[in-house]
Amino acid sequence: MNRFRLPWRLLWRFLALLGPCLLGQAALANEHARAEEIVQGQCFICHGVDGESSSPIFPRLAGQNEAYVARQLRDYRSGKRVSSAMQPMVAALSDEDFVALGRYFASRPTHLHQVDDSELSQVGAFIYKRGNAFSGVAACAGCHGPNGYGTNNLPRVAGQHAQYTEKQLREFNSRARTNDNMVMHTVASKLTELELKAVASYLSGLK
């Protein structure tokens, strides 16, 4: 009889270790299903099912950092970030929904987009990587990284629509953007019109 006890003990230990993994996978599957439900019911109209937005006035969300997405959605709901379009969309969503949406869009594939003006983009590459020491513009790469991927709490700017990036920089400059303004106002307020458009153009062509 004793010879059959060890395998059963090992089996129970294996099941005890496997159980949390299976529960974790089930929870992630439920979370993903909830995110898809929200995206297909609301978000896809402007941002597309996979985060490739339908218009350059709406941000591309494919590959965007998950914690950043969740925080922006919370800020919309609380009114910290103001948008007449976004407030009604997120009013009934929970913090768990925001986390699910963040993970969903972070998992979407990114795409390479051709820039409209390659020469302007080259100017933008210089400003993004090195800034402008003559006017005090800091290098964007210092916060958003050399490839524009940002961090978990800072936005991915690589591949973003140039028109949307331009709009955000202008709103940071004028303080119309009501969150994340402290650092970005300092940067955006020093950009010339050429530099602003050039950086936006350069970022639109990154993958």
Contact 199, 181 (CB under 8 A): no
Calpha distance 41→205 (Å, rounded): 30
Give residue 6's pLDDT: 53
User: How much is the pLDDT for 23?
Assistant: 55
Per run of 10 residues, the mean pLDDT along the chain (length 207 residues) is: 58 66 74 96 96 96 98 98 96 97 98 95 98 97 98 96 98 96 95 98 98
pLDDT by residue (tens digit) across 88-113?
999 999 999 999 999 999 999 999 99
Work out the burial of residue 201: count CB atoms within 10 Å of its CB; fewer than 13 is exposed, 13-18 middle, 19 or more buried.
buried
Alpha helices in the chain (DSSP H): 5-38, 44-47, 66-78, 86-90, 95-106, 118-130, 141-144, 162-174, 181-188, 193-204
- Please give the Cα distance from 127 to 122 (Å, whole number): 9
**Angle, CA of 98, 99 and 103, to the nearest 5°:** 115
Which pLDDT score is estimated for 13?
73
Q: Please identify which residue in the block is written with the tokens 């100017």.
A: 123
Q: CB under 8 Å to 87, separation ≥6 — which residues? A: 76, 77, 79
Contact by Cβ (8 Å): 127, 199: yes
Question: Domains along the chain?
Answer: 24-106 (1.10.760.10), 118-204 (1.10.760.10)
Please classify residue 188 by burial: count the beta carbons closer than 10 Å to its beta carbon, then call 0-12 exposed, 13-18 middle and 19+ buried.
buried
In this prediction, residue 1 carries a pLDDT of 47
What torsion do the CA atoms of 43, 49, 50, 53 make, to the nearest 10 degrees? -60
Question: What is the per-residue pLDDT across 108-128, written as a single tens digit (0 to 9) for each?
Answer: 999 999 998 999 999 999 999
Cα–Cα distance measured from residue 38 to residue 161, given in angstroms and rounded to the nearest whole number: 23
Cβ neighbour number for residue 189 with a 10 Å cutoff: 14
